[in-house]
């Protein structure tokens, strides 16, 4: 997490101030439940809210105490006692540090997921808008980086929309994975705390009670969360890579927006580089790489050890802040993307009609030529065109074996671009819904 | 995928024979739909099923053709033509290789997921049986590898049950991610094939049509699939690690079953090693490591490239075969696990009553001692016991500050084991359902 | 490891037959040393070589025994006894299974490294040959996929040569990391076997004695080995990616060799796809992914556990076989690469002279214009050219502020391609040595 | 990189202030060389040093400029011009941003490596001291977590010493990998800058000239660097895991130092947890995980793209700061480790003599019993002992088949602990050198 790749909304979820505020709320809600159960005085619970709810926790003071006691939750509780006075002895009754730490972490991860979902909605809206804008704009489809057959730029964006819709659904699952609360005391037996306290705190924080914890909330949940972020990052990389390809000097079908005053190169003033999408490619590598430590965190020893903690102190903020930044950056890139339909047409025409080769092949088989023979007939006319020697349609017309099966008129009809785009609306209806297409 | 870590059920999903059979079915179902749409003769579709449905595809012959044409689907279609004769020209009409390859891969991944789900059910049943067997067997709970407070061996297993129940649900999601079918032709535009063909084939194969493909089925689906296997593997590692710990010479609370004739060590005849769970630990590392290449596969170039293919040829079988083997092995380990309740009790008694320290702490605070003071009172009596110098209960009784607040009788009551296990049924009801506990 | 991506030379290193032969040699060399030390009779050592040296070990028989005793080395020794008779009791004296297994693994990894080094020499030779062939062939250099300044195709290949030379050196280090032998008995104390046995076996097998083993050879060595393979794989990916880029329809500066009879697409007969380099990209992902499990293998418990074994049974063969295949495939790609200098020139000319923009910038500053002003002067003339509106040289000549500083003649001189290639020999001398350039 | 796991020495290498200072030095050294070559005036070079050498670069001002021009190096040069005045136009002549950025990164990575090497020396010294302290302290060696045969605690530490000595050597290699300098201008052709400038700057900064760069320094170097850090981290995890095992309640052969005032658990006052080594286990996961993004950075497009940059901005500081912190923390753990030889002896005695089983086995074979029979004889006496039923030596004496071969006296001699430790000095001489052992 470095400022350059951070947005304040996500960063604020991970500040010490936010963390201590969540800790306080967990403790105070637990006190309410304990008071209700008669374990502690109701006035104590009230006083804790009254004095702690307004308190400004002093991060430096807590750090100072921690340096002495070498335990962060004890340091916090000691600081809390400075506000609340003798009633503070009712705080944390029967609880263990993990009850606070793990429930807090999950609150933070849930909030992070909510922000990522909001980012995702913004991204989906931007993609959708541009997809409809270019729904029928012809462009060459490429496989292996080689011109294949025509498609439209809108379909490309519809693919991205469908992919990020899946990513959105995955984020919803990931959020659910970590939306649990554990207040179960040492080794998770509830020996010193009634399970109803957990239920109360969970409800107040919008979480589910963890069915069975081991003092800690089991880390398979978090592994799944971070693995999901890794998959989302990989989808970001895919769309970023597409734009990088489209901006290549030889292709130039689209470009990242280039603001006034921006400099592409300290040495070469003419350059306009796809730096944002290259940056996103790198950020994707970072987020993806964090999935492995998160999975290694699962196999804690016995009821728990603390090895996961240092990992999560880093990847908790790093993965969510980076992904949040990346989603918003990608949204901006899509939103302002400069699209060059004329260049798309120029590239489409580049291969002298070869993009229609499959259609000729199919027409020949439908005229009774075997698939093998059709393939050979097409290929022998395609290869000179590929080498820049001649026009595909003219060569086919001149080929005796071809013209024996397909008239000049029939051949010309096979070179119609509309043939390739006739199902655009079907595809858009699948991706965006029939209503959207009807309106769009 | 090596025989040592493979089960035939899963291996058979990945044989060339299975693959070619699925390819045939995709092509033949597509012919049915094409015939229904009037694109090809109905008799041709019938003949393809009649002749191909009974055919024994010759893997060696297909390989031979592929060596010439350097293209696996064309090799298969050429071989198919050898069976079917001239009607074979109607096969693969308007389709592209990826339609066959990707739909087939997803069929295989779905079958693999089904087998993994069956494995998981077996594992869950084994864990459940043993969990109820040891529901009330006291054992020490450990945090950081250090004795913490008592729990029961049944609760340990309930934790594993809850974790693998989550893993089961994740596998259901993973299966759904890849249960799609694409028959959309070159660059996915349906230019040469009607979308209804895709719908028909999907229905016949128990898949959903891919809303929008790019000639290939997008690889974020597969990344999610393999990432999920990585998380499941990590949970396997966790339970395996627990058993390895329990089998340590100094702990010996449980042991892998050791058959007659088995030799633990070529050099040391007395040894009984947790080799199965160590093996599972290694297998988990392997499956987990495959998540990264799967995520790197997402960012294919433009509409598609073929870089994902070599990755999937390896990790498709490797990850599923290894995980299948691991789940079944773990089931066997749990099923036959030798459990030693007397050793659990011995270890419980090891710390001279220190496991009750928190309860004493709480009792002191309830008598009005501040949390800080209570902590110090308990710690000063705990430390000598930790060093093996004295009995915790006796020391507490002899401590003037403690005995001023808690009578000898009160202190003795605080050392009751039942206190720690009183919520076992609550926990079991959460994990296995109330009915299971009532019956259990 | 699947046949499709395997070469027999490397596969043979990993067969059971090879493994058992190496096991035998370790045991027999150890017997020699034991006999020399007087621990066992010299005749026994001789008989072991005589009878075992010619023996054809029966893999199926050994597997059968292993199924009973569940221990591979004991199964092998039992089988060996069937050949050698009563003297077999002198075999494995004071040794432990790991002495055999780990030393054997290292012998295999060393042989694998030797083969990889041979592959690397072949690759380097191919790159060098093509580098000199195109030493002075101008081509556009690209940063961010955007045309930057001219370079030569030979320099591109010289970069690859330098990178793979470094990879070669890394492989030499990796080989050295694992070229050790441990014959130190249980927990590595030499209690039951004299350290001189280890020294003898090491010398005979071309290894160094492991200074201190823990029964096993420490796995940091193997982690470094597999991490190095991962880096080499990443360099393969880089060169493969370069070729994929060059073969793009819009670029077409080079192409993988396309044999007669090969079919690029089942649907589109005109296509010639960079399938080999795409395949290499995928193989690189696989090899790289194996670095992580290898690193996770380091932290074995205490003196050793066996969790590393299943990992190494897979990645030992998989990583080396895949990398061997990839290096040889890449060598073939480079060796037969079709290079199109005319297309390189065509692309060079594409940006209307913009590739000379930096040189104009520098000339202006040398005429006393500030860097900031020079940048602005160049950029305002570059931007129209970028949009396809005009020729850069003509615009500069027509710009009053520019022509005030640089005459038409001076400007023309700045557009000389030779300016960019004047240091090709210097670079080649650095990479290939001065002699090679003098000859070349 | 978070303060909790950071040391100021390493953090200071990565501050903006340090970075800009290095940038300045690269530019200023380049000016010297350019002046020497007559490209720029000597007085300009001198003035740049005079004014820039003393300048306090204003990070906020540079950030402000960067927000406008969106280019960090241009922002820095603009700021530099504010100090130096018109002569600033001679700065950066013929160079490109990457010349500055990449050379700077390598300077930082070299400095980081130097600090890591210093850390490593401290760690090695601590391990050595403790190894000699416990050279002859008997302890049980364990394989699979099961008691195997005796060793000494010193040997355990000697193993760690040997492992970290290898890690030290790897760090030396890693440092060398990145100790290069590139001043080669756009796309690395030296078109606008003489190669002698690079040589001069390299020499001044203690680097080697990069033989051939592609505008950027090739990232295989950095991949190797970070992969090496991942291996070192894995070795840290290994030693940390060993200590965690030793501190387990049931083992308690060693403990992390526990300071006055420290609290092990907020709930359980008696606990002393191995929190430092658990923390190191987590930090190892983090550093290891960064190897993958570093390897993914290798395959930049063509001469370069910028996708590596965001990765390195994070993992450059994160990996080195975390590893530095981990090495120093581990040094402290070893330095102050509480070691309990009495507990080691207690554990050694735990298995009732079974640790001598192999020696009995060997003695039987030397008396002419077949290996198979010997194994069975030993195992049938070992198993009851394993179950806690009887003493191994007594059972062997009472076994008729055993006593037929080995007298009571002979059996007793086989139970001598010194037998297992007789090669300690040999091992220490291999690891620490003969002189160290002679002195030690």
| B387 or B327, higher pLDDT | B327
Could you name the CATH architecture of C97-256+268-347?
Answer: Up-down Bundle (1.20)
With contact defined as 3+ CB pairs under 8 Å, the chains touching A are: B, C, D
Helix (H) or strand (E) holding B260: none
Closest residue on chain D to A77 (Cα): D266
Distance from CA of B251 to the nearest CA of D (A): 6
As to burial, measured by CB atoms within 10 angstroms (0-12 exposed, 13-18 middle, 19+ buried), residue C435 is: exposed
Asked if D267 lies within 8 A of B147 by C-beta distance, the reply is no
Looking at the predicted structure, is the pLDDT value of residue C268 above 90? no
Give the model confidence (pLDDT) of B291-315 as tens digits: 999 999 999 999 999 999 999 999 9
pLDDT at residue B264 in the model: 57
d(CA C347, CA C147): 9
Interior CA angle at A429 toward A423 and A432, to 5°? Answer: 135
Distance from CA of A20 to the nearest CA of D (A): 16
Asked if C143 lies within 8 A of A273 by C-beta distance, the reply is yes
d(CA C224, CA D170): 9
d(CA A67, CA A347): 65
Asked if A69 lies within 8 A of D285 by C-beta distance, the reply is no
Looking at the predicted structure, is the pLDDT value of residue D263 above 80? no
pLDDT at residue D389 in the model: 83
Sequence ranges of the domains in chain A: 3-90, 97-187+214-347, 354-414
Looking at the predicted structure, is the pLDDT value of residue D268 above 70? no
Q: Which of A12, A265, A307, A370 is catalytic?
A: A265
Q: What is the mean pLDDT of residues A104-109?
A: 98
Asked if B251 lies within 8 A of D247 by C-beta distance, the reply is no
Kindly list the residues from chain B whose CB atom is less than 8 angstroms away from the CB atom of residue A347: none
Asked if C218 lies within 8 A of D163 by C-beta distance, the reply is yes
The share of chain A scoring above pLDDT 90, in percent, equals: 80
- One fold for both B97-229+289-342 and B354-414? no
- The fold for domain A3-90 equals Fumarase C; Chain B, domain 1 (1.10.275)
Asked if C292 lies within 8 A of B285 by C-beta distance, the reply is yes
Q: What is the mean pLDDT of residues C261-277?
A: 71
pLDDT at residue C433 in the model: 95
Structure tokens at A375: 């393939």
Closest residue on chain C to A384 (Cα): C270
Kindly list the residues from chain C whose CB atom is less than 8 angstroms away from the CB atom of residue D242: 301-302
| Cβ(A128)–Cβ(A431) below 8 Å | no
Structure tokens at C14: 């990993």
Asked if D249 lies within 8 A of B147 by C-beta distance, the reply is yes
pLDDT at residue B256 in the model: 96
Task: Number of A to C CB contacts under 8 A, please give it.
Answer: 128
Give the model confidence (pLDDT) of B316-340 as tens digits: 999 999 999 999 999 999 999 999 9
Residues paired with residue A147 on neighbouring β-strands, in sequence order: A142
Structure tokens at B363: 């009792």
Q: Which among B286, B297, B306 has CB closest to C314?
A: B286
pLDDT at residue C262 in the model: 62
- The fold for domain D354-414 equals Ribonucleotide Reductase Protein R1; domain 1 (1.10.40)
Asked if C238 lies within 8 A of D372 by C-beta distance, the reply is no
Structure tokens at D87: 């002569």
Asked if A308 lies within 8 A of D68 by C-beta distance, the reply is no
Closest residue on chain A to D184 (Cα): A267
The model's confidence at residue A53, banded by pLDDT at 50, 70 and 90, is confident
| Cβ(A189)–Cβ(B423) below 8 Å | yes
Nearest to A317, CA basis, from D230, D226, D318, B230:
D318
With contact defined as 3+ CB pairs under 8 Å, the chains touching D are: A, B, C
pLDDT at residue C267 in the model: 53
Kindly list the residues from chain B whose CB atom is less than 8 angstroms away from the CB atom of residue D272: 146, 386
**Whole-structure pTM value:** 0.95
Distance from CA of B45 to the nearest CA of D (A): 47
Q: Which of C12, C265, C310, C370 is catalytic?
A: C265
* B84 three-class SS: helix
Q: Which of A143, A144, A259, A270 is catalytic?
A: A144
Asked if D141 lies within 8 A of C224 by C-beta distance, the reply is no
Q: So what CATH class is A97-187+214-347?
A: mainly alpha
Buried b / exposed e along B130-167 (16+ C-beta atoms within 10 A)? bbbebbebbbbbbbbbbbbbbbbbbbbbbbbbbbbbbb
Looking at the predicted structure, is the pLDDT value of residue D325 above 80? yes
Q: Which among A5, A281, A310 has CB closest to D307?
A: A281
Distance from CA of A87 to the nearest CA of B (A): 9
Give the model confidence (pLDDT) of D192-229 as tens digits: 899 999 999 999 999 999 999 999 999 999 999 999 99
- The fold for domain D97-347 equals Fumarase C; Chain A, domain 2 (1.20.200)
Give the model confidence (pLDDT) of D18-61 as tens digits: 999 999 999 999 999 999 999 999 999 999 999 988 888 899 99
Give the model confidence (pLDDT) of B49-64 as tens digits: 999 888 888 999 999 9
Place of tokens 């339609």: B99
d(CA B156, CA D363): 44
Asked if A307 lies within 8 A of D285 by C-beta distance, the reply is yes
Nearest to B267, CA basis, from C54, C91, A399, A24:
C91
Looking at the predicted structure, is the pLDDT value of residue B32 above 80? yes
Average pLDDT, chain A: 93
Distance from CA of D176 to the nearest CA of A (A): 25
Distance from CA of D82 to the nearest CA of B (A): 44
Per CATH, the number for B97-229+289-342 is 1.20.200.10
Q: Which among C300, C301, C423 has CB closest to D189?
A: C423
Give the model confidence (pLDDT) of B57-96 as tens digits: 899 999 999 988 888 999 999 999 998 998 898 999 889 9
Q: What are phi and psi of C297, to 5 degrees?
A: -75, -15
pLDDT at residue B412 in the model: 92
Catalytically active residues of D are 144, 265
Q: Which of B12, B173, B265, B370 is catalytic?
A: B265
Kindly list the residues from chain A whose CB atom is less than 8 angstroms away from the CB atom of residue B405: none
Q: Which among D145, D214, D295 has CB closest to C234?
A: D295
Q: What is the mean pLDDT of residues A407-418?
A: 92
DSSP state of D247: H
pLDDT at residue B270 in the model: 58
The model's confidence at residue A260, banded by pLDDT at 50, 70 and 90, is low
Asked if D270 lies within 8 A of B357 by C-beta distance, the reply is yes
With contact defined as 3+ CB pairs under 8 Å, the chains touching B are: A, C, D
Asked if A291 lies within 8 A of B170 by C-beta distance, the reply is no
Task: Number of B to D CB contacts under 8 A, please give it.
Answer: 129
Distance from CA of B57 to the nearest CA of A (A): 20
Q: Which among C148, C244, C247 has CB closest to A271?
A: C148
Distance from CA of A236 to the nearest CA of C (A): 18
Q: Which among D158, D186, D295 has CB closest to C148?
A: D186
Looking at the predicted structure, is the pLDDT value of residue D269 above 60? no
Q: Which among D151, D189, D221 has CB closest to C420?
A: D189
Residues 6 or more apart in contact with residue C46 via CB below 8 angstroms:
none
Give the model confidence (pLDDT) of D407-440 as tens digits: 999 999 999 889 999 999 999 999 999 999 988 6
| C158 or A259, higher pLDDT | C158
Q: Which among A81, A187, A371 has CB closest to B149?
A: A187
Give the model confidence (pLDDT) of D351-377 as tens digits: 778 888 888 988 998 898 988 899 889
pLDDT at residue D357 in the model: 86
Asked which of B258-272, C225-239, D371-385 is least confident by mean pLDDT, the reply is: B258-272
Is B265 a catalytic site residue?
yes
Residues 6 or more apart in contact with residue A29 via CB below 8 angstroms:
A200, A201, A204, A205
């Amino acid at each position: 997490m470095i400022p350059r790749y951070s947005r304040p909304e996500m960063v604020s979820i991970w500040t010490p101030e936010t963390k201590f505020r969540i800790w306080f709320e967990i403790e105070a809600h637990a006190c309410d439940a304990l008071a209700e159960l008669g374990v502690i005085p109701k006035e104590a619970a009230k006083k804790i809210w009254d004095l702690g709810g307004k308190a400004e926790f002093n991060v430096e003071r807590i750090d100072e105490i921690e340096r002495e006691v070498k335990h962060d939750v004890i340091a916090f509780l000691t600081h809390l006692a400075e506000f609340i006075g003798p009633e503070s002895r009712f705080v944390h009754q029967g609880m263990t540090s993990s009850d606070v730490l793990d429930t807090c972490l999950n609150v933070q991860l849930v909030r992070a997921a909510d922000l990522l979902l909001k980012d995702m909605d913004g991204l989906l809206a931007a993609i959708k808008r541009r997809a409809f804008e270019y729904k029928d704009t012809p462009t060459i489809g490429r496989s292996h980086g080689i011109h294949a057959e025509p498609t439209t730029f809108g379909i490309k964006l519809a693919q991205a929309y469908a992919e990020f819709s899946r990513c959105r659904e995955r984020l919803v699952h990931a959020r659910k994975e970590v939306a649990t609360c554990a207040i179960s005391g040492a080794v998770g037996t509830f020996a010193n705390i009634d399970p109803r306290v957990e239920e109360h705190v969970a409800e107040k924080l919008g979480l589910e009670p963890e069915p069975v914890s081991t003092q800690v909330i089991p880390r398979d949940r978090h592994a799944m969360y971070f693995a999901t972020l890794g998959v989302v990052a990989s989808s970001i990389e895919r769309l970023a890579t597409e734009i990088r390809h489209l901006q290549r000097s030889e292709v130039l079908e689209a470009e990242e927006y280039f603001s006034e005053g921006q400099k592409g190169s300290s040495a070469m003033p003419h350059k306009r580089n796809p730096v944002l999408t290259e940056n996103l490619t790198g950020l994707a590598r970072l987020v993806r790489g964090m999935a492995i430590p998160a999975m290694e965190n699962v196999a804690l020893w016995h009821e728990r050890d603390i090895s996961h903690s240092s990992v999560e102190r880093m990847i908790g903020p790093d993965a969510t802040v980076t992904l949040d930044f990346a989603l918003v950056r990608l949204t901006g890139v899509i939103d302002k993307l400069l699209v060059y339909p004329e260049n798309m047409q120029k590239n489409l025409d580049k291969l002298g009609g070869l993009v229609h080769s499959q259609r000729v092949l199919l027409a020949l088989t439908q005229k009774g030529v075997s698939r093998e023979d059709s393939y050979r007939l097409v290929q022998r006319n395609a290869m000179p065109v590929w080498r820049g020697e001649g026009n595909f349609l003219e060569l086919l017309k001149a080929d005796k074996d071809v013209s024996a099966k397909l008239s000049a008129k029939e051949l010309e009809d096979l070179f119609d671009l509309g043939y390739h785009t006739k199902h655009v609306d079907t595809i858009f209806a699948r991706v965006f819904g029939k209503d959207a297409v009807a309106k769009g």
